[in-house]
């Protein structure tokens, strides 16, 4: 209630505009920021990685030097065309529109999804991930969810404060105005952190799911090698 009143006041509106302009001048990618987390948590098996919802293909290109073969999958033909260009000079990345249900059981060592899970039927996607991962294979998800609980709101507050600070570190000088890259197909997340957490615990028992800065959460799970 207090927050809503503040947001609707002149001070709140001016403050929000100032913060938005500050963030635009020192913009950073909330998705690419997590590439180093992904690289720090790769599985031991390195035959095949699948980056679902690869967008422009930046992560697939990075993974290419760690895996025998990387599949970069996206439902959007424009994104696939850009990903083809991004990975043109690496010979172990293939671009496809294939969906999770099309992969064989126990066939993929790493599945990554950065800002993608909320585009899919989450429960169905998690069940296919569990199925297609090799034993000891790993899934690393960077996700989005609307804030619903007090804990969600507190993490959003932390992100609001850290957003410009990280922007200053990444881009100490304001960005020149350039043409933005072609936009991603985006979708607003609907399910909350706790709702996704329930599905994750059901499909991927023991998975680690954590709130993160940048208005994101992460999910990490290694398929048991029974
Ligand atoms: C917000 S973008 C994120 C792109 C990329 N992962 C990144 O971090 O830059 C979401 C991507 O998911 C893709 N996508 C949405 N639904 C999909 C589906 N069913 N299968 C594959 N990709 C999908 C969109 O086309 C889009 O490129």
* 55: CB partners within 8 A, 6+ apart: 31, 74, 79, 82, 83, 114, 184
For residue 204, the SS3 value is coil
Residue nearest to atom 27 of ligand 1 (CA): 55
Q: What is the DSSP string of 147-197?
A: --SHHHHHHHHHHHHHHHHHHHHH-SSPPP--PPPPPPP-----S-HHHHH
Query: 5 CA to middle of ligand 1, Å?
Result: 36
**Per-residue confidence in pLDDT tens, the chain, 226 aa:** 445 565 567 766 776 776 676 667 666 788 999 999 999 999 999 999 999 999 999 999 999 999 999 999 999 999 999 999 999 999 999 999 999 999 999 999 999 999 999 999 999 999 999 999 999 999 999 999 999 999 999 999 998 888 877 777 777 676 665 656 678 888 999 999 999 999 999 999 999 999 999 999 999 999 999 8
Please state which architecture CATH assigns to domain 32-97+104-145+185-222: 3-Layer(aba) Sandwich (3.40)
Burial of 173 (0-12, 13-18, 19+ CB in 10 A): exposed
Query: 161 CA to middle of ligand 1, Å?
Result: 27
Residue nearest to atom 5 of ligand 1 (CA): 55
Per-residue model confidence (pLDDT) at position 177: 54
Query: 107 CA to middle of ligand 1, Å?
Result: 21
Per-residue model confidence (pLDDT) at position 110: 98
Per-residue model confidence (pLDDT) at position 30: 85
Per-residue model confidence (pLDDT) at position 107: 98
Residue 223 CA neighbour count, 13 Å, CB half: 23
Structural domain spans, the chain: 32-97+104-145+185-222
Residue nearest to atom 11 of ligand 1 (CA): 53
Assess contact for 87 and 61: CB atoms under 8 A: yes
């Amino acid at each position: 209630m207090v927050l809503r009143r503040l947001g609707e006041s002149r001070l709140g509106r001016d403050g929000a505009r100032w913060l938005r302009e500050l963030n635009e001048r020192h913009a950073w990618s909330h998705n690419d920021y997590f590439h180093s987390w992904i690289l720090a948590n790769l599985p031991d098996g390195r035959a095949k990685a699948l980056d679902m919802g690869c967008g422009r293909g930046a992560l697939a290109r990075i993974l290419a030097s760690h895996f025998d073969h990387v599949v970069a999958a996206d439902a959007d033909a424009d994104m696939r065309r850009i990903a083809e260009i991004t990975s043109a000079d690496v010979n172990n990345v293939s671009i496809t529109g294939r969906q999770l249900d099309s992969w064989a059981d126990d066939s993929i060592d790493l599945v990554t999804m950065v800002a993608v899970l909320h585009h899919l039927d989450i429960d169905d996607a998690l069940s296919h991930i569990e199925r297609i991962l090799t034993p000891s294979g790993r899934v690393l998800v960077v996700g989005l969810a609307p804030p619903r609980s007090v804990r969600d709101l507190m993490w959003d507050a932390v992100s609001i404060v850290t957003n410009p600070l990280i922007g200053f570190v990444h881009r100490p000088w304001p960005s020149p105005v350039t043409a933005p890259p072609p936009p991603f197909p985006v979708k607003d997340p609907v399910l909350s952190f706790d709702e996704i957490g329930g599905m994750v615990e059901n499909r991927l028992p023991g998975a680690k799911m954590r709130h993160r800065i940048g208005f994101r959460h992460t999910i990490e799970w290694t398929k048991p090698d029974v």
